[in-house]
Amino acid sequence: MSHYVVGDVQGCYDELISLCKKIKFKPNKDKLIFAGDFVNRGPKSLEVLEFCMQNKKSISGVLGNHDFYLLYLIEHKKRNKSLKPILESKSVNRIFKWLRKQPLVQKIKINKSKEIFYIVHAGIPFIWSLKTAKKLSNELQGELKKDSYNILKKMWGDSPSRWKESLEGYKRYRTIINYFTRMRYLDANGDLKLKKKDLKKEKNHIPWFEQTIINLKPKEYIVFGHWAALNGKTKFKNIIGLDTGCVWGNKLTAIRLEDKKIFQINKL
């Protein structure tokens, strides 16, 4: 049995299937974990989610910003061109239920190597220990089950930009979602800098992983997606970026956690 984590698929179903063939994914034996952004922008978002649900015993993932957007569209009965086939599908309620169940962080321990992998869409900020991150993911997942309508309605916006444990209610949930699914840069205090998306150096804008690396022990890893411009490069062996911009015409990437072997498919 092997664990494979795949980067942002964003509706690139044909490439996902090619990648599954390349890794010889066996649904009755292996596990496939999506690093978030299952859907949107690409041509076959509905097919991607149907594939996940057909193999739900072996496929899971963490939620990305585009997945939250889809949940919002479904629950608030909004329209969107790229996601229309899902919104009009007979499976829309099943899709909603399945997607809403996915956490923001998954912790996977590989028995043989004793290595621990934290899978997350955007990243884990240095201001949260790995334990805190898992706890906040559990909290949000639980709240989403009870009150998704309002959480999804009130998740929009960039503020507060700074996490405080004392945050409550929808502000708290919005901030948790923003760190886990939209973060790229933080300042030295851990405030979110959500406006900046390019790779140019800028004062007081630090890629999140440059501060988080200090929190990781040698056998702890973070695997993330979201930041296609990095093309997988973080310069830290314990922080592994998997978004290689398939939806932008580049590559779809997966990693096998047991030996950290990388598998890639070019955009078809």
- Binding interface with Mn ion (CB under 5 A): 37, 64-65, 226
Whose Cβ is closer to Mn ion: residue 24's or residue 34's?
34
Cis check: omega of the bond before 27, within 30 degrees of 0: no
Instruction: Please report, to the nearest 10 degrees, the dihedral formed by the alpha carbons of residues 73, 170, 125, 226 taken in order.
Output: 10
In angstroms, give the least distance from the CB of 165 to Mn ion.
Answer: 25
Tokens at 7, concatenated: 């980067």
CB-wise, 40 or 238, nearer to Mn ion? Answer: 40
- Closer to Mn ion by Cβ: residue 59 or 70: 70
Sheet containing 192-193: which strands, arranged edge to edge? 192-193, 185-186, 206-207
- The residue (of 64 and 136) whose beta carbon lies closer to Mn ion is 64
Instruction: Please identify, using beta-carbon distances, which residue of 172 and 226 lies nearer to Mn ion.
Output: 226
Name the minimum Å distance from CB 194 to Mn ion. Answer: 12
Beta bridge partners of 245: 251
Q: Report how far residue 186's alpha carbon sits from residue 206's, in angstroms, rounded to the nearest whole number.
A: 5
41 or 116: whose CB is closer to Mn ion? Answer: 41
Shortest Å, Cβ 29 to Mn ion: 29
- As measured in angstroms, the least distance from the Cβ of 121 to Mn ion is 6
Element (H, E) at 21: helix 13-22
In angstroms, the CA 244 to CA 124 distance is 19
Min CB(39)–Mn ion separation in Å: 11
Q: Any idea which residue has 């989403």 for tokens?
A: 144
Burial 50-66 (b: 16+ CB within 10 A, else e): bbbeeeeebbbbbbbbb
Residue sitting closest to Mn ion (CB): 226
From the CB of 243, what's the least distance to Mn ion, in Å? 7
